[in-house]
Structure 1
Amino acid sequence: MQFKSAYLQGVYDSVCKRNPHEPEFLQAVGEVLESFEPVVEKRPDIVEKGVIDRMVEPERMIMFRVSWVDDNGKVQVNRGYRVQFNSAIGPYKGGCRFHPSVNLSIIKFLGFEQTFKNSLTTLPMGGGKGGSDFNPKGKSDNEIMRFCQSFMTELAKHIGPDTDVPAGDIGVGAREVGYMFGQYKRLRNEFTGVLTGKGLTFGGSLARTEATGYGLLYFTEEMLNCMKNDSIKGKTIVVSGSGNVAIYATEKATELGGKVVAMSDSDGYVFDANGIDLDVMKQIKEVERARISEYAKRVAGAEYHEGCAGIWGVKCDVALPCATQNELDGESANKLIANGVIAVAEGANMPCTPEAINAFHSNGVLYAPGKASNAGGVAVSGLEMSQNSMRYSWSFDEVDEKLKGIMKNIFHASYDAAKEFGLNDNIMAGANIAGFLKVAAAMIAQGVAY
């Protein structure tokens, strides 16, 4: 990447030199630094204090072996990670991802993004991320339990309610969080809010399951209202993925008067012109854990198509990529634009490639980056931490109302920052800047030795 600022160019070149085999991390850093061009012009103190130089380097990276025994009595070995990226505004906070694609580059990119996302929520949480290349698909409950216990046996040495509070992510749901929490409690002999996304019977928060998907729609609704004088009502919507985020984004989109016509998994996508029947989808994906192709077999008129990337060829007003990183490329973006899309909001982390983002900006399509639009999950995780500290629980409606307020505030913080720094309607740049400035102020206040 090329930057106008010699300082930013130097920072980026240094990151590339230190991390030459980490494409996801380099992509995330490049996209964020590009947003900082007007900031370094207006704020020379940030350059003088080396804030950005420090921010692109994790405070701590932990990599460890995870040995466990499968149901056949065979020893299996996976690799575990925890990257504690930045604790300037609070304890490290970020999910754990269990997926074969997990490597240090992906965990670092997620931890880097998490730092800005957590800052945007206004809650006192730093940025971190973790996970393993373990694949829970096809494993028995006992195998997953044994893996989670082994994983937590090492991770427990590095986390705590005032140090680092992990949560779930891809491949880590309530089951996995429960097993990890149980092992942490045994090892430490204490009952604390060290993990979020817990079951409701042992410290979990109402609305946490729905939070990322619901929050995505609250953000999108506010963006449409403020920037287009429009709303979700009456819109045709495409949602990629069919996991937790996608399902609850679909649920809230429907509640707000939209019609979701397509969802996907890693094999392909389904199109239902009448609108996705969410009860059927929940049965297939949450209860049976089956492939999305089952939907077309059970719902009259629904179509199944091989190849998940084809979903971006479905005509829609609003696109919500909720599956995984870099799932929506430049070619897919141009298909959406040709079909009249007016807004794209990310439910996953960095699902749009730089080419796709440029296409949206160049064609007047509203674009919301994941660090802003999918911050609902970590926002309610922060609320779960608060409830755990108080030994108290709020009602679903109380949490949902707080979530709605947080997501609206994130939009306006991003929108206002974009305007302040002369970036017009670039919500991505605005989100990067708004999240960064809070962390930067804390880092400067705490001194360079920090």
Structure 2
Amino acid sequence: MNHSAIEQLYTQVLARNAGEPEFHQAVHEVFDSLGRVFTKHPEYGEASILERICEPERQLIFRVPWTDDNGRVQIDRGFRVQFNSALGPYKGGLRFHPTVTLGTVKFLGFEQIFKNALTGLPIGGGKGGSDFDPKGKSDAEIMRFCQSFMTEAHRHIGEHTDVPAGDIGVGRREIGYLFGQYKRLTNRYESGVLTGKGITWGGSLVRTEATGYGAVFFASHLLETRGRSFDGARVAVSGSGNVAIYAIEKAQQLGATVVSASDSTGAIFDPEGIDLDLLKDLKEVRRERIEAYVAERGGNAEFRAGASAFALAAERGGVDVALPCATQNELGEADALALVKAGIVAVAEGANMPTTPEGIRVFKDANVLFGPGKAANAGGVATSALEMQQNASRDSWSFEYTEERLAAIMRDIHDVSAATAEEYGAPGDYVVGANIAGFTRVADAMLALGVI
């Protein structure tokens, strides 16, 4: 940081939000880009814009009681952080995972403010979730949990207030149960209150694919600046959930060979390229661990327990593009150094904050093109906003038209991030460009709305 007032505010944020390291990390990453903005625009400081942005407009924590299949009552904790509505209704996913805490949700919601602003669409920033673990639960247990969660959450959301979506542990099944309970409680078919819905009941084509596709679109624009493309590129992907699967799909469509994927148990490497049909069957249908891929694929595919997808791919040969699509802080300094040694050209974050500060520093020092999550993975929320548009007009768009809209939004995000970095004296630094572009859009709206 290079601005005394921002440094002082960061100290206050740490003290006021003790025990929330992921939130601290997200705030620091944004603050680190803003010194030059406050020098150019002192009006932001005079109106305490940054102090207000760091304090959520509303933080909700609630008990979620539900009954398991053995008749025992279980208790989980639900969260919804409504961070900033200067640009539109709060918009952000729900994450169901045992590691979810208030700090996790706050970091995700803080990132969401700027990510949503970058899309150019009228949506504010929010996030939510629960420490409920859907793994190993029956469909009936998941339904009862979702119904209990929505029984409390429904009074705080709405298509003009707060529009949740899916995230880790929350897919179309969970969205269906949540939406059904919302409809039951409100007696309204308010399609726009949740996004990520099924196609036959208000959902949008491309929404399932959007985050993964969008990350690849963004990465392709990064590569264009170096006269490169995905055609013939060797790509390392982490994760094997929704984002990873559709990042692999789009990269393969553009001519790349994707050699890795992973889950919480370890990583696979396939020198012939990931068999996407097999991976989809394992993860989306059978919900098995990724180790099963190797036994069914055969050939030279291998599984390494506890390994990083990036370390494994780098060890086995050259890597041109890395797409971290699993979870926060998964790509650290050691993996970054291995990727640089393997010839990495570009990194685009499909997950939220998956690269540690030390990893980012390695990439910057090596002149690797780096697309931060708030820019590179904005395709998911952008297509959610397109789903909201379709719901509002009682319309349904074709796959081709919706993908064209997504591709155009991702190009605009790339271009505005690049142009803003240039304007503020950091050419080629997409972290700086995305942070400043997102921040100034929100800050200008907040100035216009007055002290609220």
Structure 2 residue aligned with 1:182 = 180
Q: Distance in 2 between matches of 1:136 and 1:217?
A: 28
Letter in 2 for 1:47: G
Cα deviation for residue 20 of structure 1 reads 1.5
Partner of 1:296: 294
CA distance in 2, matches of 1:141, 1:425: 47
Alignment partners' CA distance in 2, 1:271 and 1:184: 42
Shift of 1:229: 1.6
Structure 1 residue 83 displacement after superposition: 0.1
Q: Does 1:383 align with 2:386?
A: yes
Match of 1:23 among 21, 24, 37: 21
Percent of residue pairs bearing the same amino acid type: 59
Find the residue that maps to 1:404 and give its secondary structure: helix
Deviation at 1:339, TM superposition (A): 1.1
CA shift digits 1:92-124 (9 cap, x unpaired):
000000000000000000000000000000000
Give me the TM-score of the superposition, normalised by structure 1: 0.98
Question: 1:218 is matched with which residue?
Answer: 217
- 1:435 lines up with 2:433 in the alignment: no
Counterpart selection for 1:228 from 222, 226, 229: 226
Match of 1:9 among 7, 10, 13: 7
Instruction: Give distance in 2, aligned partners of 1:22 and 1:409.
Output: 33
1:333 matched to 2:333? The reply is no
Q: Deviations over 1:364-423 (max 9, x none)?
A: 011000000000000000000000000110001010000000000000010000000001
Say which of 155, 161, 166 aligns to 2:153. Answer: 155
Partners of 1:337 and 1:234 in 2: how far apart? 19
Mapping for residues 205-284 of structure 1, pairs under 5 Å: 205-225=204-224, 227-284=225-282
Gaps of 5+ in 1: none
Query: Residues 9-88 of structure 1 correspond to what in structure 2 (within 5 A)?
Result: 9-88=7-86
Residue pair 2:236, 2:309 contacting (<8 A) in 1 also: no
TM-score, normalised with respect to structure 2: 0.98
- 1:318 and 2:317 equivalent? no
Q: What is the rounded CA distance, in whole Å, between the counterparts of 2:323 and 2:206 in structure 1?
A: 20
Alignment map for 1:97-112 (pairs within 5 Å): 97-112=95-110
Counterpart AA for 2:40 = K
Contact 1:196 1:204 in 2 (8 A): yes
* Residue aligned with 2:64, SS: strand
Which deviations, in whole Å up to 9, do the C-alpha atoms of 1:58-109 show, x marking residues without a partner?
1100000000000000000000000000000000000000000000000000
Deviations 1:257-299 (A, max 9, x none): 1100111011011111000010111111111000100110011
Q: CA deviation at 1:312?
A: 2.5
Shifted more, 401-410 versus 306-315: the winner is 306-315
CA distance in 2, matches of 1:368, 1:326: 15
Indicate whether 1:342 and 2:345 are aligned.
Answer: yes
- State the secondary structure of the residue aligned to 2:209: helix
How far 1:314 sits from its partner (Å)? 1.5
Distance 2:51 2:124 in 1: 17
1:310 Cα deviation after fit: 5.2
Please say if 1:197 is aligned against 2:200: no
SS at match of 1:253: helix
Distance in 2, matches of 1:4 and 1:347, equals: 29
2:217/2:411 contact within 8 Å kept: yes
Of 112, 115, 124, the match for 1:114: 112
Q: Choose from 408, 411, 414 the match for 1:408.
A: 411
- The offset of 1:325, in angstroms, is 0.2
Task: Provide the secondary structure at the position in 2 that maps to 1:276.
Answer: coil
* C-alpha displacement of 1:335: 0.9
128, 131, 134: which one aligns with 2:132: 134
State how far apart, in whole Å, the 2-side matches of 1:204 and 1:4 are: 45
Aligned amino acid, residue 220 of structure 1: A
Per the alignment, residue 422 of structure 2 pairs with 419
SS of alignment partner, residue 157 of structure 2: coil
| Cross-structure match for 1:352 | 355
What SS class does the counterpart of residue 259 from structure 2 fall into?
A: strand
Within 2, Cα distance between the matches of 1:75 and 1:308?
37
Distance in 2 separating the partners of 1:379 and 1:25? 23
Query: Which secondary structure does the structure 1 equivalent of 2:155 belong to?
Result: coil
Q: How many residues align?
A: 446
CA shift at 1:313, angstroms? Answer: 3.8
Tell me, which stretches of 5 or more residues in structure 2 are unaligned? Answer: none
Measured in 2, the distance between the counterparts of 1:147 and 1:86 equals 28
Amino acid at match of 1:332: D
